[in-house]
Amino acid sequence: MGRAVEGHLDGICAYWKFDRLTNAASEGFNNKIRHLIAQAYGYRDYEYLKLKVYELPSMVLTKRMLSSCSK
């Protein structure tokens, strides 16, 4: 456990130094992008996928929807 803490000490200290700031929001957005890509099978062009990524912040995904794309 000591080695694990030592290896992540910079991140642990940064969490407290920067008012408990985490990357949870970016990880959540990355999960939405993974879900979109899983649903995107058959998209014919990159521009359409890019437009859908811009639409993601307004989408509400349920846990059930996310778990179905990880199978």
pLDDT along the chain (71 residues), means of 10: 93 86 87 84 81 82 57 47
Q: What is the DSSP string of 11-52?
A: HHHHHHHTTT--SHHHHHHHHHHHHHHHHTTT---HHHHHHH
Does the predicted model carry a pTM greater than 0.75?
Answer: no
What is the pLDDT, as a whole number, of residue 6?
93
What is the pLDDT, as a whole number, of residue 61?
65
What is the pLDDT, as a whole number, of residue 69?
52
What is the pLDDT, as a whole number, of residue 7?
95
What are φ and ψ of residue 22, in 5° steps? -125, 175
